[in-house]
Amino acid sequence: MNEQYQHRARKRFGQNFLHDAGVIDRILRAIHAREGERLLEIGPGQGALTEGLLDSGAQLDVIELDKDLVPLLHQRFDNRGNFSLHQGDALKFDFNRLGASPRSLRVVGNLPYNISTPLIFHLLSNAALIRDMHFMLQKEVVERLAAGPGGGDWGRLSIMVQYHCRVEHLFNVGPGAFNPPPKVDSAIVRLVPHDTLPHPAKDARALERVVREAFNQRRKTLRNTLKALLPAAAIEAAQVDGSLRPEQLDLAAFVRLADQLADQPTAP
Ligand code: SAM
């Protein structure tokens, strides 16, 4: 690499660069990109994943926030006909700009941990464009994404993501695969937006509201935490036992509660 572009990792951009060739290869094999596909990489950094993604022959757009990495990325990849760079904040990026057809975009990223949850929510608001997503995240976050009801990991993140997507925890990655090494373990997750929602809510905002209220105080019963939103009769009409705690309810039960909320006169 050209000396001129030696880059020092920046903490405020969540920069932990992948350097383990075995891990990079395993991620690329899990994504399995093909010629003709549309890929979007969030936070390419110095290009650890970018190179293999371009080798697949797929059309790749990348969004990188750090202006100092832009010359390095141009230098490395501008000679490829399938590379487009957007400098900016992925949290503010309008994915419709890419002109991808519905359900075509394959999103990839070794994400900065501080933006991973808001970024996933931003992407889910564009779920109709997306075929699948592969992310490196903090392992605890992947465990929450993939959790089922009944345990401490089941919460707002699990429910809102599983409302839109099938979630697969693919494999874990230790700190040694990165430079500098993060203080936490990481994992690769695959999120695949459902073609048809398995439990469609009348109003997704009502679901968001019920779930947020219920998990604000996860030790309390639903009857208590949802008091301001739903009368006891509405909880009963949703066929939910109000003496339960939120972590005991599955997605379908939360959707029934949300539909009751959507039917309230002041909803949602
Ligand atoms: N993909 C590279 C790798 O695996 O080595 C870099 C991963 S590093 C964990 C995260 C990257 O995301 C950094 O390059 C960082 O500058 C970039 N980044 C941070 N916040 C961002 C944002 N809001 N939008 C786009 N890129 C961002």
Strands 186-193 and 59-64, by their bridges, are: unpaired
pLDDT of residue 1: 46
Of ligand 1's listed atoms, the one at least distance from the Cα of 93 is 24
CA-CA distance, 223 to 219, in Å (whole number)?
12
- Ligand 1 lined by 185 (C-beta under 6 Å): no
Average pLDDT, 10 consecutive residues per value, the chain (268 residues): 64 92 98 98 98 98 97 97 97 95 97 92 94 98 98 96 98 97 97 97 97 95 96 96 97 98 80
CA-CA distance, 22 to 65, in Å (whole number)?
27
pLDDT of residue 268: 58
Q: Are residues 225 and 161 in the same domain?
A: no
Contact 30, 188 (CB under 8 A): yes
**What residues make up the domain containing 77?**
3-193
Pocket residue to mutate for ligand 1, from 10, 13, 173, most atoms within 8 A of Cβ: 13
Last residue of a domain, one of 193, 220, 247: 193
Q: Are residues 256 and 186 in the same domain?
A: no
* Strand residue runs (E) in 72-185: 83-87, 105-110, 130-138, 165-173, 178-179
Q: Are residues 64 and 117 in the same domain?
A: yes
* Ligand 1 centroid, distance to 109 Cα (angstroms): 8
Instruction: Quickly count: other Cβ atoms within 10 Å of residue 48's Cβ.
Output: 20
pLDDT of residue 3: 42
- Ligand 1 lined by 253 (C-beta under 6 Å): no
DSSP conformational letter for 88: S
Instruction: Quickly count: other Cβ atoms within 10 Å of residue 232's Cβ.
Output: 11
| Among protein residues, the one whose CA lies closest to atom 17 of ligand 1 | 43
Contact 21, 119 (CB under 8 A): no
Distance from chain centroid for Cα 46: 21
Contact 144, 77 (CB under 8 A): no
3-state secondary structure of 31: helix
Q: Are residues 162 and 209 in the same domain?
A: no
Q: Which residues pair with 105 in a beta bridge?
A: 38, 130
Last residue of a domain, one of 163, 193, 223: 193
Pocket residue to mutate for ligand 1, from 42, 123, 186, most atoms within 8 A of Cβ: 42
